[in-house]
Chain A
């Protein structure tokens, strides 16, 4: 009895437990509805104290911290948009997943895998506060607190051998605190080139995973385990300082980086027309590339020569070879006569900007070469017929004005030389050029902007830089208390400027003549350069001395060859 009874007992127990599980499964789980109901949301005012107590840890950041901003308008927006967004996202997911499933299932002898239900639920993600950081760099940093407690329902049914098994994900909840950085800021829409996203904390993830109706996640150990794995996996990928980089604008376009070099050799001109009344003309060639901020370049003047030979070389950086055009003007140089010079003097005092146009330099002819006509890396010898004006069917164009012989070579930079991403551009930027002396480097001073600079009599601020006896200055910005210069100055140095200081002073000068105080100082600042050498780069806002509230943002870089 004893032994047999025990064996029978164990056997019976085994049988019983199977039957019990089946019955229990049928009674308690199988007949339970598997669809997800909308949670009942009661107005907060009606809640009792106990429920409120439970809610306390979830109170949004903007309530707790004054430096967070409320984003309820965005929540509302999302809420209204959510039904559409839900449908759109689900349709997209189905569209992507379906072909993959169809391709995979024949290998596994499965009849069909299909979505029985796919919805993200009626609850949209919510923003529980937004914090932003203001730095001196060209970037926008924001940290929204995103909480998505969804009543999502994703049910996948697998059919094989005439049986059906379902796996269901319900009540997905994701809480995360991502940092979104938009940088660098660029002057073309949408005004930033990249988006960087990284998580500042391990995200909170919770969900129910039902396999044939049984929620596996309700086994406490398993739940912990799965949650930890997910958190670690996500954290490994995107936890700060690791980031997800999304490129919005092409870096070359965004930064206006040159993509190639144009080599221009002005060889000679032939049969130029006589312009001077006495003797032959004194020609020189002015070369300009369109859409380029670089000033035009010019050859030497060949005196009294209508068939001058120059053989001079010029280089231009090219940003867009498809649209840029090289313009060549042959100009007759003329000395300004005594009469002219008197007049000239008068005009200059009145308006300095007229300077370039003063002195009667006759145009002898011009022509243009669109860069798209050039084959890359192939020198092209061109003989250009000079005309008076381009793109007009002017009768005067028929007149022969001579010819200009030039040799043009367009050398695009090699693919690998071009910076691919923002990070690469950054590293490329901080290197000094190759001709820097060993042990030395390049000191770069970037004068960004100033605020609240106030002059007593006028407010046309500019900055003067004094460094080792060298003086530089920015352009003058008229009538503003918050000038923005964004100008860069470089100093080549043989050794690091550890014991040096740089002196920057903001001045205002009046454009009016005869004012009693033509120039006044709006404040200055001395910066020790040893920190710059140690840190390579310092970008800070300094309070101006001798100024009430004035501040100035200066970026200093110490670039070495390596």
Chain B
């Protein structure tokens, strides 16, 4: 009897001990899990959440802007700035000088920094936004504002004049920097970083140019040339969809996915223009059209003299890298002695085109694209173009990529040989204003360069099609 009751008691005791233990386990486990959930929620609070928690005692100092404020980072940055400025000067000099060389306008023979210091005012980060737009990528947008006092002196050598030191003053940079981190499964977990300036809102880079110990008027058009160079670098190198890809951390990865690649081909037919503005004193304007997607690849039609309703009917092909954000820029110029005047400019967003469907559009010309700068709303006429967008398949893409590389190399070679600068000067003094386009190379030296011209000297096909 004792044995049985003892066994029974023992069993009940043993089972209840286990049950109790399990209860404790469960209790502690739920507590921990609940805490984990709380911490997770509190790591990403929204305004409504906070309102719910705090009720009437909602703290006034808290706001939830789209770009989260980073006051602490700014404080650190301003303290660190003297050291960063010193360290960065050398790096910038090294990395930007080759760029300046590549993008320098033809009228200038050498463009170098003779003094570079970043000043005492640190950039300010207005806010940071982190998004997950694509799988395996983290997109970080940094709203950067820098109204600094850097001292940048450019040593500019023009063809005729000896070196002129030009000072860049009152530099102001307002832009949103987009940094994309490509994730990897090995430490440091980031295989590459893509840096670009967001196109919308448009980056604002303001500065004033001043010649040291002289006047800028000594070389006419030099400030325009520098503006043009800076603009080209920014829009063609840094502004989205163009980007800088930096591989990180020794992991050999294929970054070609991240690089900007030719995506399609845009066939542009410049048909005609109507009611152009007359800027000539005697007679009528001598209009020609320059079209480009990237400023590095500009193409120009022939000049039709003394006509305000010119008909060109010329066809070009342009490469598009990112249909979603890129635009076709159409500029109408008046050929003139000295500098050519711009009669009007218009943009057309490529996203509005259906692939393989021809479209004819009539673009209203504006005096400038910057709405702040437009003084008059006078009608500057219109320009009619026909567009056909062709999406590349893999093979075509490769061919286009090779072609693009080849053209760039050709251009570089010509530049080194001094062909471009001098040829352009000799041919057409005004050409320099139109800029550093390959199209110009084509017009300047024709098919001799090895580019494929399409019969008319001006029409240079970007890709050797058919």
* Chain A residues in the interface with B (C-beta under 8 A): 4-25, 27-29, 32, 39-45, 47, 52, 54-56, 58-60, 62-64, 66, 69-70, 72-77, 79-81, 84-85, 87-89, 91-92, 123, 126-128, 130-132, 134, 140, 142, 147-151, 170-171, 173, 185-189, 191-192, 206, 208, 214-215, 217-220, 223, 480, 482, 484
CB contacts (< 8 Å) of B3 on chain A: these are 8-9, 11-12
Q: Is the CB of A69 within 8 A of B71?
A: yes
The interface-forming segment of B81-89, B106-114, B425-433 is B81-89
Q: Is the CB of B10 within 8 A of A126?
A: no
The interface-forming segment of B34-42, B158-166, B327-335 is B34-42
From B14, B79, B190, contact of A18 by CB (8 A): B14
Q: Which residue of B lies closest to A37 (CB)?
A: B33
Q: Mark B376-415, 1 if CB is under 8 A from A, else 0.
A: 0000000000000000000000000000000000000000
**Which parts of B129-151 form the interface with A (CB within 8 Å)?**
129-130, 132, 138, 140, 149
Q: Is the CB of B40 within 8 A of A13?
A: no
CB contacts (< 8 Å) of A47 on chain B: these are 52
With contact pairs A21-B14, A24-B15, A70-B68 given, residues A13 and B7 touching in the complex (Cβ less than 8 Å): yes
CB contacts (< 8 Å) of B34 on chain A: these are 39, 54
Q: Is the CB of B10 within 8 A of A149?
A: no
CB contacts (< 8 Å) of B190 on chain A: these are 81
CB contacts (< 8 Å) of A32 on chain B: these are 22
Q: Is the CB of A185 within 8 A of B80?
A: yes
Q: List 18 A-B contacts (CB under 8 A).
A: A15-B6, A16-B6, A21-B14, A24-B18, A28-B21, A39-B40, A44-B53, A56-B53, A63-B54, A66-B61, A72-B68, A73-B129, A73-B130, A185-B83, A187-B83, A192-B80, A215-B28, A218-B28
Q: Which residue of A lies closest to B140 (CB)?
A: A77
* Chain B residues in the interface with A (C-beta under 8 A): 1-19, 21-22, 24-25, 27-29, 32-45, 48-50, 52-54, 59, 61-62, 68-72, 75-76, 79-80, 82-84, 86-88, 91, 120, 128-130, 132, 138, 140, 149, 181, 183-187, 189-190
With contact pairs A12-B7, A39-B33, A187-B83 given, residues A128 and B43 touching in the complex (Cβ less than 8 Å): yes
Q: Is the CB of A191 within 8 A of B87?
A: yes
CB contacts (< 8 Å) of B48 on chain A: these are 44-45
* Complexed CA–CA distance, A60 and B45 (Å): 10
CB contacts (< 8 Å) of B12 on chain A: these are 16, 20
Q: Is the CB of B132 within 8 A of A80?
A: yes
Q: Nearest-CB distance from A293 to chain B (Å)? A: 13
Q: Nearest-CB distance from B30 to chain A (Å)? A: 10
Q: Which residue of A lies closest to B63 (CB)?
A: A70
Q: Which residue of A lies closest to B139 (CB)?
A: A80
* Complexed CA–CA distance, A120 and B149 (Å): 48
Q: Is the CB of B15 within 8 A of A20?
A: yes
* Complexed CA–CA distance, A220 and B28 (Å): 10
Q: Is the CB of B42 within 8 A of A59?
A: yes
Q: Is the CB of B72 within 8 A of A142?
A: yes
CB contacts (< 8 Å) of B14 on chain A: these are 16-24
From A17, A75, A217, contact of B44 by CB (8 A): A75
Q: Which of B24, B25, B87, B140 has the most CB of A within 10 A?
A: B25
Q: Is the CB of A206 within 8 A of B32?
A: yes
Q: Nearest-CB distance from B251 to chain A (Å)? A: 11
Other contacts beyond A12-B3, A87-B185, A189-B87: 12, CB < 8 A: A12-B2, A17-B17, A24-B14, A42-B37, A43-B41, A45-B52, A63-B45, A81-B190, A134-B79, A171-B36, A187-B83, A218-B28
From A20, A42, A66, contact of B13 by CB (8 A): A20
Q: Nearest-CB distance from B121 to chain A (Å)? A: 8
With contact pairs A60-B45, A187-B87 given, residues A132 and B10 touching in the complex (Cβ less than 8 Å): no
Q: Is the CB of A186 within 8 A of B83?
A: yes
Q: Which residue of B lies closest to A148 (CB)?
A: B39
Q: Is the CB of B84 within 8 A of A191?
A: yes
Q: Is the CB of B49 within 8 A of A44?
A: yes
* Complexed CA–CA distance, A455 and B14 (Å): 89
* Complexed CA–CA distance, A56 and B53 (Å): 8
* Complexed CA–CA distance, A187 and B120 (Å): 14
Q: Is the CB of A84 within 8 A of B75?
A: no
With contact pairs A5-B2, A44-B49 given, residues A70 and B32 touching in the complex (Cβ less than 8 Å): no
CB contacts (< 8 Å) of A148 on chain B: these are 39
* Complexed CA–CA distance, A17 and B83 (Å): 72
Q: Is the CB of B120 within 8 A of A480?
A: yes
Q: Is the CB of A12 within 8 A of B70?
A: no
Q: Is the CB of A44 within 8 A of B41?
A: yes
Q: Which residue of B lies closest to A76 (CB)?
A: B130
